[in-house]
Amino acid sequence: MTDTMLSESLASARRRLADALAAAGRPADAARLLAVSKTKPASLIRQAWELGQREFGENYVQEALEKQAELADLDGIIWHFIGPLQANKTRAVAEHFGWVHSIEREKIARRLNDQRPDTLEPLQVCLQVNVSGEASKSGVSLDELESLAEAVLSLPRLRLRGLMAIPAPAEDMASQREPLGKLRHALETLRQRFPQAPLDTLSMGMSDDLEAAVLEGATLVRLGTAIFGTRENSRH
Ligand SMILES: *Cc1c(COP(=O)(O)O)cnc(C)c1O
């Protein structure tokens, strides 16, 4: 991807988010863009940063650490871990990321809490929820969400910010909105149950369902392909 292509695709992603927010009757700053840079080189992240993008999402710990080392000079960059997280990788994530979106088990949350360095601010976290039932194996079920949230809220080195979902792909707007609406509803329920918690984040919406997600209240949309192009050279 050339510099011009990236600058055009990033501009069009920003326009797309702005249009979706306007169409939903929401303020222009009600949702922000997370640039999902998995499998993409550090040089492309640096270009996006030069174009004003500050938040980046990564799925694979080792790959992310390599890129972070190359980009250590970028002041104010915010790294979000959005991939499946195994227990043996929690220390690296606790030490090198600002956010984790993919918490689905208490054991992982406890490890992140225990391993988060005191020199850093608390780790901002979202719980990944399975809103697609049988169609998805990842994410905590809606039934178990409240007890996981309660456990995470008791961990001082984590700050529970909200919920994340990766719904099963769907073609039309109505079927895209259905699981996203469930996530919104689940967040509203948690807010009522835990009014003191800073639950302000709905991490949902990807390149194929951004408009549906913004209509359902997304505050952080995770765009990969729409910004960086397809991932044909994935090494995963
Ligand atoms: C890859 C990925 C994205 C971005 O997907 P695109 O369809 O390329 O926009 C968003 N969220 C998660 C969790 C991902 O793994």
Q: Write out the chain's pLDDT in tens, 236 residues.
A: 777 899 999 999 999 999 999 999 999 999 999 999 999 999 999 999 999 999 999 999 999 999 999 999 999 999 999 999 999 999 999 999 999 999 999 999 999 999 999 999 999 999 999 999 877 779 999 999 999 999 999 999 999 999 999 999 999 999 999 999 999 999 999 999 999 999 999 999 999 999 999 999 999 999 999 999 998 755 55
Q: How would DSSP label each residue in 184-225? A: HHHHHHHHHH-TTS---EEE---TTTHHHHHHTT-SEEEESH
What's residue 1's pLDDT?
Answer: 79
What's residue 235's pLDDT?
Answer: 54
Question: Which residues form the domain of 134?
Answer: 3-234
Domain count, the chain: 1
- Say how many Å lie between the CA of residue 133 and the centre of ligand 1: 19
Q: CA angle, 93 as apex, 101 and 124 as ends, to 5°?
A: 45
What whole-number distance in Å separates Cα of residue 36 and Cα of residue 55? 9
Dihedral sign computed on CA atoms, order 38, 41, 47, 50: positive
What's residue 18's pLDDT?
Answer: 98
- Prediction pTM value: 0.96
Reduced 3-state DSSP string for 26-89: CCCCCCEEEEECCCCCHHHHHHHHHCCCCEEEECCHHHHHHHHHHCCCCCCCEEEECCCCCHHH
What's residue 135's pLDDT?
Answer: 75
Ligand 1 is surrounded, with C-beta below 6 A, by: 36, 38, 59, 82, 166, 206-208, 222-226
Looking at residue 66, which CATH number applies to its domain?
Answer: 3.20.20.10
Atom of ligand 1 nearest to the CA of 225: 8
Q: Report strand pairing: 123-128 vs 99-103.
A: parallel
Asked if 62 and 48 count as a contact pair (C-beta separation under 8 A), the reply is: no
The two most distant CA atoms of the chain are separated, in Å, by 48
